Structure 1
Amino acid sequence: MASTAVLNIAAYRFVSLDDLPALRDHLYGAAQAAALKGTVLLAPEGINLFLAGAEPAVRGFMAGLVRDARFVDLEVKESWSDEMPFRRLKVKVKREIIRMDHPAIQPSSGRAPAVDAPTLARWLDAGVDDDGRPVRLLDTRNAFEVDHGAFDNAVDWRLNRFTEFPQQLRDHADALRDVTVVSYCTGGIRCEKAALLMREQGLDHVYQLDGGILKYFETVGRRHYHGGCFVFDQREVLDDDLRPTASR
């Protein structure tokens, strides 16, 4: 990797946070000192971050972050770009790190079951899960993201925003009752909330794709997937090598 390459990281964790203004100021100062750019979202339910910078600076920032016991198990997805994909640094306090407007869903109280990328690829090869149940993939992203690439034959409810997901689930839940549903998204945060809501709505065989599309690309590649993965920065679309590319 060239010494001038930019390291991009994406990570989130649902964990109870109650010192949000102080944490915001601390993280802004640490990221600014490291010359990082991107966005960090903080809410009572957890942290969601997308940052980029020189590799030593990014790794130094993360080493400091995970010294906080609340973030010690933060799983980071990495990719590289030749140029900085963000214009500035933002650290914000929000009501939710991913807005669903469904307060009963509290991921920090416990995750929905997850399936890792190699297992999902094996299920898709077979067409069924390990219990012989048909597998249905459910895309929880916005419609314009799906249009850049998606898993083959995935359910796409043409969402304009994630807050529409609860109503769409109420409208379509019956079609998902006799299959194993795997919800997926870019990095895992939306599909985690979606899987918990499906469990709340009485769907018994529901999983989230652990790490989302980015982790799937990193681990498996493009098996059963067409196109690229839209990301919310100036790179726009990543290929299965997690490099910026035009949608394929």
Structure 2
Amino acid sequence: MMQILNIAAYKFVTLAQPEVLQTSIGQALEQRAIKGTVLLAEEGINLFLAGPAGDIHDFLAWLKQDDRFADLQAKESWSGAQPFRKLLVKVKPEIIRMNHPAIQPAAGRAPAVDAATLKRWLDAGHDDTGRPVVTLDTRNDFEADVGTFKNAIDWRISKFTEFPEALQAHKEELAGKTVVSFCTGGIRCEKAAILMREAGIENVWQLEGGILKYFEESGRAHFDGECFVFDERRALDPELKPQVNPVAKPLSRPTLPAVPTALGVLSDS
């Protein structure tokens, strides 16, 4: 049985005309047996896609011909069938909605901590300076209910736009601690970390690559449960295996000409 490669990736980068990219990316994906969602905004790109490995790798190679996406890092997992029902390429005001326009990650990222370092800190109970470490779940409450880091701070938000208000209500709880924000793949915790730093919280880090990257590099250490995902797999365990394997459907492979490889195809300038 053919295995389906699932990828999640994002990058905060200034895109002056995302509508132009919407067209070219949509055409590139339609010429391959790929489904899922691509979100574009002036602040960057966010994608969740699945298809045969050859098609996924071919699309990523095509996308990375654009210098703005050359260093795009995709997190990979596998399923027995296609977990997405359709393909959507959409332009949005934000690639992850926070309703806080002053936060511009493309202008400068918050410091990131990798999976191995976070595991080491959690093993010890403190960071390299001896400061207590806490993990902060920036996902929705129903996601945290499926699985989260042990003793993680969870403000029970029902959507990410509630995070700024929750931060104001709970900011004092974070004083004197090293705070590591986390989410599924990194995009929400990156925005959250920038907001926390702007709010005056000094020792804030984002978990590089989110839970999925942590699973890949550190397994189930300090994590209870599974990682919720927004597709038919429902959740991934620390071995990146799906809770539910989607029912296999015949793959329809378009018989269209190969996608042009010229860099100009992806240019929005």
TM over 0.5: yes
Aligned to 1:70: 68
1:97 maps onto 2:95 in alignment: yes
Residue correspondences, number: 244
Aligned to 1:195: 193
1:186 partner amino acid:
T
Aligned to 2:253: none
Cα offset, 1:135, TM superposition? 0.3
Alignment of 1:40-51 (within 5 A): 40-51=38-49
> Which aligned segments of 4 or more residues in structure 1 are displaced greater than 3 angstroms?
none
Aligned to 1:152: 150
CA distance in 1, matches of 2:145, 2:62: 37
Secondary structure at the counterpart of residue 213 of structure 2:
helix
1:186 maps onto 2:184 in alignment: yes
Aligned to 1:171: 169
Cα offset, 1:142, TM superposition? 0.1
Cα offset, 1:43, TM superposition? 0.3
Cα offset, 1:245, TM superposition? 1.6
2:202 partner amino acid:
D
Cα offset, 1:177, TM superposition? 1.4
Cα offset, 1:243, TM superposition? 1.1
Cα offset, 1:241, TM superposition? 1.2
1:59 partner amino acid:
H
What do you get for the CA RMSD once the two structures are aligned?
0.7
Residue by residue over 1:198-235, the C-alpha shift from the partner in whole angstroms, topping out at 9 and shown as x without a partner, is 00000000000000000000000000000000000000
Q: TM-score, normalised by structure 2?
A: 0.90
CA distance in 2, matches of 1:152, 1:20: 39
Cα offset, 1:21, TM superposition? 1.2
CA distance in 1, matches of 2:157, 2:169: 13
Secondary structure at the counterpart of residue 147 of structure 1:
helix
Cα offset, 1:18, TM superposition? 1.0
Aligned to 1:219: 217
CA distance in 1, matches of 2:206, 2:186: 8
CA distance in 2, matches of 1:208, 1:185: 9
Query: Highest Rg: 1 or 2?
Result: 2
CA distance in 1, matches of 2:157, 2:72: 28
Q: TM-score, normalised by structure 1?
A: 0.97
Aligned to 1:27: 25
Aligned to 1:81: 79
Secondary structure at the counterpart of residue 192 of structure 2:
helix
Task: Return 5+ residue gaps in structure 2 as ranges.
Answer: 245-269
Residue by residue over 1:124-174, the C-alpha shift from the partner in whole angstroms, topping out at 9 and shown as x without a partner, is 000000000000110000000000000000000001100000000001111
More contact order relative to length (CA 8 Å, sep ≥ 6): 2
Cα offset, 1:35, TM superposition? 1.6
Q: Equivalent of 1:11, from 6, 9, 12?
A: 9
CA distance in 2, matches of 1:241, 1:179: 30
CA distance in 2, matches of 1:83, 1:243: 12
CA distance in 2, matches of 1:77, 1:36: 16
